Amino acid sequence: MAEQSLRFPEGFLWGVASASHQCEGETTNNQWYAWQQAGHIKTGEQVGIACDWWRDAERDFASAHDMGLNALRLSLEWSRIEPRPGEWDDGAIARYRQMLTALRARGMTPLVTLHHFTHPQWFEARGGFLADDAVTRFAAYVAQVVPQLSDLCDFWCTINEPNVYATFGYTIGDFPPGHTGDLRGVIRAQAQMARAHAAAYAIIHQIQPNARVGVAQQLHTFDPARPRNPLDRLATRIQTTAFNDFFLDALISGQVAPIFRPLAGDLQAVRGTFDYFGFNTYARDLIRFDPGKWSEGFGHRTTAPGAWLGDPGTGGVYGEIYPQGIERFARDAARLGKPIYVTENGVADATDRLRPLILVTAARAMHAAIAAGADLRGYFHWSLIDNFEWAQGWSMRFGLIALDPTTQERTWRRSAHLYAAIARANALTPAMIAEYAPELMDGTELAAGG
């Protein structure tokens, strides 16, 4: 059957997402810089000037505008704004004002993240989010910056992916502080981040009663490897509860699963502190019960045969690329009765072999969710331009635009043209699919294994 054009609601946000440390360059006062200096970037690379945004983000904002995008998500670098405890750098705020002004002048809505994995090294040295006064410190930073930017932004994301921050920092060890198997740390860090978020939520609303404030939680699709096997289903449930649900449970109900409560403490104050539901989603794992993997919730992670796999970083691929997950998560979030945004989605794909397929599949998934009643209002592709992928350095390329970090030369990938076409039309049309993703014509889905 011939496919129809899929139109999106008027005012739908077609955006891109980014983060300060990955794009600005010379972020030398945060814990990730210290981590790099200690030799933990697996490729041995340096963040350097990254995409040179501190000097000239406007060049790439102009490209986003040329692409027809109407939104851009960026983060503030706390380590620039508060270089030493209680000392504020007005020049840093002035630069962020310029950047937000440049976006607004182009008719683009900024979504500003207050914490995207990085914070000042002095905050890390005191214990990061595990320090007794972490919530107070974060709140002081928020109280300082928000009034100075509130005429330019009313759409805030307090914290990016507390679950990824905590899992990679406390159990896997690829992120600072580099603990492994520290299950206590992973719970306590997320509980403290939930309290820090709730404090920020209250502060922002005091300053801007009409602000839209939320988080960007990473939601990973977990499916049982053998769908009817009760033990695979149980292990899948454990993964979902531990990774996807902990922070959201705190946000939605102020209560986490009973097993986590002794470590998490009282989270009642966090309940209901979100004006929209923001999620980042990338990948899927199939879970097979494995009694030997008790520390990973008895789940052995596998990838479906024939699955779409992005480019491997130094430690392999990030899992099966699964934009189809957007529909499931958005439909599930509809019960919350709040606007929903996909705050990140994308793929590491230097040669752009998969990205067009992912954009088409993501657009279809979003359209299906909206048709089923989800109040989904925007999509932020990760990312506008190749940027510094944390411990994977420059080895994973997520940009619609390719960047040569040495020459700073920029080249639009084909998918940038596809995304531009979708954003300009506020629709996905059969002609776009025929031109950019012919494999997916007439409603075809790529056999994503399983």
Structure tokens at 179: 């603990």
Name which position in 19, 134, 370, 440 contacts ligand BGC (CB under 6 A).
Answer: 19
Name which position in 160, 167, 171, 192 contacts ligand BGC (CB under 6 A).
Answer: 160
Does position 222 interact with ligand BGC (CB under 6 A)? The reply is no
Nearer to ligand BGC, 135 or 283 (CB): 283
Does position 166 interact with ligand BGC (CB under 6 A)? The reply is no
Cis peptide before 383 (omega within 30 of 0): yes
Nearer to ligand BGC, 158 or 218 (CB): 218
Nearer to ligand BGC, 280 or 361 (CB): 280
Give the closest residue to 12 by CA, choosing from 309, 311, 387, 425: 425
Q: How far is the CB of 313 from ligand BGC (least distance, A)?
A: 9
Neighbouring residues of 236: CB distance < 8 A, sequence distance ≥ 6: 222, 223, 224, 287, 299
271 to 290: interface string for ligand BGC, x by CB under 6 A? ---------x----------
- The CA-based diameter of the chain, rounded to the nearest angstrom, is 63
* Residue 92: alpha-carbon gap to chain centroid: 23
Does position 113 interact with ligand BGC (CB under 6 A)? The reply is no
Does position 164 interact with ligand BGC (CB under 6 A)? The reply is yes
Q: Which stretch binds ligand BGC (CB under 6 A): 99-107, 157-165, 293-301, 426-434?
A: 157-165
Find tokens 């992005």 and name the residue.
310
Q: Which stretch binds ligand BGC (CB under 6 A): 77-85, 124-132, 150-158, 160-168?
A: 160-168
Does position 161 interact with ligand BGC (CB under 6 A)? The reply is yes
Does position 156 interact with ligand BGC (CB under 6 A)? The reply is no
Q: How many CA atoms lie within 13 A of 322 on its CB side?
A: 25
Does position 218 interact with ligand BGC (CB under 6 A)? The reply is yes
3-state secondary structure of 217: strand
Name which position in 389, 395, 412, 428 contacts ligand BGC (CB under 6 A).
Answer: 389
What DSSP character marks residue 169?
I
Does position 358 interact with ligand BGC (CB under 6 A)? The reply is no
Structure tokens at 422: 């979708």
Determine the Cα–Cα distance for residues 102 and 62; give it in Å rounded to an integer: 9
Does position 114 interact with ligand BGC (CB under 6 A)? The reply is no
Give the closest residue to 247 by CA, choosing from 293, 223, 280: 280
Does position 109 interact with ligand BGC (CB under 6 A)? The reply is no
Determine the Cα–Cα distance for residues 271 and 194; give it in Å rounded to an integer: 10
Angle of helix 414-425 relative to helix 355-371, nearest 10 degrees, comes to: 20
By CB under 6 A, name the binding residues for ligand BGC: 19, 160-161, 164, 218, 280, 344, 382, 389, 398
